[in-house]
């Protein structure tokens, strides 16, 4: 097993997955992340490398999507007329954009390159920051997502020798795509920590959604009450994720690292800071080595504070993967570039001061009940005490 770490960059066509200038999913968040990783000098070209993605083939996309859906994505992006609304496209979350299939297949291919690097032993850890498009369904676009690259990476891993995969999703929105795609597959453990579907899109992700048939108990949801802060979120993570992943003993750990859990994110209502991301990155790294022989495939995800939060959050995660202790002061060169692009002042540090608990509107009782419900429902299926 190589000790290398790979950052997968999807190439010169990076801005192609662009839903429009008014859309919250800004492609600049990915390019700014890459530039911050470079500015910190994490990449040494040997142990920590950057590699270029490839496009997922139609055959690979069909591991999780239907043939008619892939054809619809292609034709819609070429400007053909059609009933594309039946596939989830239209004004709002999922607008049609030029060369939509090509751009989406490139993002999906980046996650396949990341999965291949880890499964084939080219690297222990890999990260595709452009990925994490976890709302796309087998035959429908949803939540800014066209092709479900985390699900595709999981399906590819299973088709190429992995027997068991654990998927951990920390986006503020429920990881509904991978859950739905593998709902009856007992080889895939999915764990999603998210703001409750009672108060946030996509309206799913409740504890009773725990798998079907032989897969019952392998689909795990931790629906958190609005305004959960660092302490409550980290407690929920610690009580649920490490025990389950350790008991599962996956061949590969796949993660979706959405950072729309941040207190300043405009699309949700959790109240995390980058302090929580630092702790989460360490836990996931430890889990990869303790439970999955070091094999860790990471993807990006949500995050709509596109220059103040996303680059810092994902650089923290990639620095942890690389085993590099990053100076807290953000590189001045990067700050100047980010400010010029955004037109607003950039943060000065990776870290943020811990918020005064009195300022966090967390509901401790509701949080405890949610975690207890998960443990009562799921833990016995894995030989764990509730």
Provide the β-strand partners of residue 101.
none
CB distance 54 to 47 below 8 Å: no
State CA 304 to chain mean position distance.
13
Provide the β-strand partners of residue 298.
127, 255
135 is a catalytic site residue: yes
Residues in contact with 120: Cβ distance below 8 Å, sequence separation at least 6, in sequence order: none
Summary count for the chain: helices (H), strands (E): 11, 8
Cα distances (angstroms) measured from residue 227 to each of 158, 233, 265, 268, 362: 37, 10, 12, 9, 5
Name which of 385, 381, 382, 360 is nearest 372 in CA terms.
385
Instruction: For residues 217 and 194, give the distance between their C-alpha atoms in angstroms, rounded to a whole number.
Output: 18
Which of 135, 173, 174, 285 is an active site residue?
135
Instruction: For residues 24 and 10, give the distance between their C-alpha atoms in angstroms, rounded to a whole number.
Output: 20
Catalytic residue set: 135
């Amino acid at each position: 097993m190589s000790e290398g770490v790979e950052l997968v960059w999807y190439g010169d066509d990076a801005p192609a997955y662009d839903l429009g200038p008014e859309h919250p999913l800004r492609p600049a968040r990915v390019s700014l992340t890459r530039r911050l990783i470079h500015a910190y000098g994490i990449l040494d070209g040997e142990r920590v490398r950057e590699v270029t993605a490839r496009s997922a083939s139609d055959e690979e996309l069909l591991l999780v999507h239907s043939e008619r859906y892939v054809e619809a994505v292609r034709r819609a992006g070429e400007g053909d007329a059609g009933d594309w609304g039946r596939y989830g496209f239209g004004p709002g979350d999922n607008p049609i954009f030029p060369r939509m299939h090509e751009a989406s297949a490139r993002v999906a291919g980046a996650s396949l390159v990341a999965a291949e690097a880890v499964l084939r032993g080219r690297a222990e850890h890999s990260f595709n920051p452009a990925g994490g498009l976890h709302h796309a369904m087998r035959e429908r676009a949803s939540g800014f997502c066209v092709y479900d690259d985390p699900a595709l990476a999981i399906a590819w891993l299973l088709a190429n020798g992995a027997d068991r995969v654990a998927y951990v999703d920390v986006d503020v929105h429920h990881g509904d795509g991978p859950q739905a795609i593998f709902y009856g597959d007992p080889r895939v453990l999915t764990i999603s920590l998210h703001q409750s579907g009672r108060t946030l899109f996509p309206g799913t992700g409740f504890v009773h959604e725990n798998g079907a048939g032989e897969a019952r108990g392998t689909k795990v949801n931790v629906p958190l009450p609005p305004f959960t802060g660092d302490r409550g979120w980290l407690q929920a993570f610690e009580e649920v994720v490490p025990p389950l992943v350790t008991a599962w003993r996956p061949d590969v750990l796949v993660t979706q690292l959405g950072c729309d859990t941040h207190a300043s994110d405009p699309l949700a209502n959790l109240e995390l800071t980058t302090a929580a991301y630092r702790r989460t990155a360490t836990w996931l790294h430890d889990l990869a080595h303790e439970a999955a022989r070091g094999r860790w495939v990471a993807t990006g995800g949500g995050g709509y504070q596109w220059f103040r939060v996303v680059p810092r959050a994902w650089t923290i995660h990639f620095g942890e993967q690389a085993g590099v202790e990053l100076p807290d002061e953000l590189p001045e060169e990067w700050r100047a570039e980010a400010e010029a692009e955004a037109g607003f002042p950039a943060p000065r540090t990776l870290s943020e001061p811990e918020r005064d608990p009195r300022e966090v509107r967390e509901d401790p009782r509701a949080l405890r009940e949610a975690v207890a419900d998960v443990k009562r429902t799921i833990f016995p299926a894995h030989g764990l005490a509730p």
